[in-house]
């Protein structure tokens, strides 16, 4: 069953989403050559605690950190480390905030210094895939419409969407119904209803979409070692369309 949020719950999640977006934006400014992802983790945790919130990810299924910091061929769920970011890397920063009993979640991929044209295109297409998917979010549409739009756009640009991972509902729990795939068919799945809140998160690979578990036991990376990219926003279904809560 997909929870419908009350006006008060929406108010809390809207405030939490704004706080989270501000923190992720600050982290992106610090994703520079020579910095470690552990430094970004320390900043993320400090900013979350200063905001009056808590880390959604820390301790979730044993995850050891607040921030997922996934570099190059790693697409999601990588714990921060002492690895220094290098010129030309791309890094996905995925962060969750628990604020007044409700979770918020978002991700952005940042280029580290000057990145290659191929990496720039991959990031641009993934960002645009999120925008294309969001255009399908309004009452009366189906989750399959959102999923199809993501896949259709990404594949039209010569890239692939991940099949093994997906977006999700969110609220009192970090992961709620429904699961939102990055591929699908129009008109399928549950109908979108006012008051639903969920995370849409295109995960795009430059080549093959198949993933494997990283050696750290948490991250997922491309089997063929190709670049990958991840963007995520938390969105509310409104009477006439949608509102992005992580802005």
202 domain-assigned: yes
Range 39-50 average pLDDT:
98
The answer to whether residues 228 and 76 touch, using CB atoms and an 8 Å cutoff, is no
HEC string for 45-64? HHHHHHCCCEECCCCHHHCC
Reported as a single tens digit per residue, the pLDDT across 72-117 is: 999 999 999 999 999 999 999 999 999 999 999 999 999 999 999 9
Chain mean pLDDT for the chain: 98
CATH of the domain at 156: 3.90.230.10
Give the domain extent around 190. Answer: 7-238
pTM of the model: 0.97
247 domain-assigned: no
196 domain-assigned: yes
Q: What is the pLDDT of residue 139?
A: 98
Neighbours of 59 (CB within 10 A): 11
All residues at 6 or more sequence positions from 188 whose CB lies less than 8 Å from its CB, including other chains: 142, 143, 144
- CA–centroid distance for 55 within its chain: 15
Helices of type H across the chain: 7-29, 37-50, 117-134, 143-156
Q: What Rg do the C-alpha atoms of the chain give, in angstroms?
A: 17
Name the percent of the chain lying above pLDDT 70.
100
114 domain-assigned: yes
Q: Which residues of 200-217 are buried (b: 16+ CB within 10 A; e: fewer)?
A: bbbbbbbeebebeebeee
111 domain-assigned: yes
The answer to whether residues 90 and 227 touch, using CB atoms and an 8 Å cutoff, is yes
2 domain-assigned: no
Q: What is the pLDDT of residue 30?
A: 97
245 domain-assigned: no
Range 51-55 average pLDDT:
98
Total domains in the chain come to 1
Nearest to 12 by CA among 200, 193, 175, 197: 197
188 domain-assigned: yes
**First-to-last C-alpha distance (Å) of the chain:** 27
């Amino acid at each position: 069953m997909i929870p419908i949020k009350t006006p008060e719950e929406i108010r809390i999640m809207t405030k939490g989403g704004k706080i989270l977006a501000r923190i992720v934006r600050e982290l992106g400014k610090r994703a520079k050559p020579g910095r470690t992802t552990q430094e970004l983790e320390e900043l993320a945790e400090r900013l979350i605690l200063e905001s009056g919130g808590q880390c959604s990810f820390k301790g979730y299924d044993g995850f050891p950190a607040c921030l997922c910091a996934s570099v190059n061929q790693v697409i999601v769920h990588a714990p921060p480390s002492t690895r220094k970011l290098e010129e030309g890397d791309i890094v996905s920063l995925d962060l969750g905030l628990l604020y007044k009993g409700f979770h918020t979640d978002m991700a952005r991929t940042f280029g580290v210094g000057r990145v290659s044209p191929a990496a720039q295109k991959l990031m641009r297409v993934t960002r645009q895939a999120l925008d294309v998917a969001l255009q399908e979010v309004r009452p009366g549409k189906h989750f399959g419409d959102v999923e199809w739009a993501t896949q259709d756009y990404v594949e039209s640009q010569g890239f692939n969407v991940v099949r093994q991972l997906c977006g999700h509902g969110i609220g009192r729990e970090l992961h709620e119904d429904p699961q939102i795939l990055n591929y699908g068919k129009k008109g399928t799945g549950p109908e979108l209803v006012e008051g639903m809140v969920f995370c849409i998160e295109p995960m795009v690979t430059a080549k093959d979409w198949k993933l494997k578990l990283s050696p750290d036991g948490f991250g997922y990376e491309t089997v063929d070692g190709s670049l990958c990219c991840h963007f995520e926003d938390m969105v509310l279904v409104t009477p006439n369309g949608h509102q992005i809560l992580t802005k």
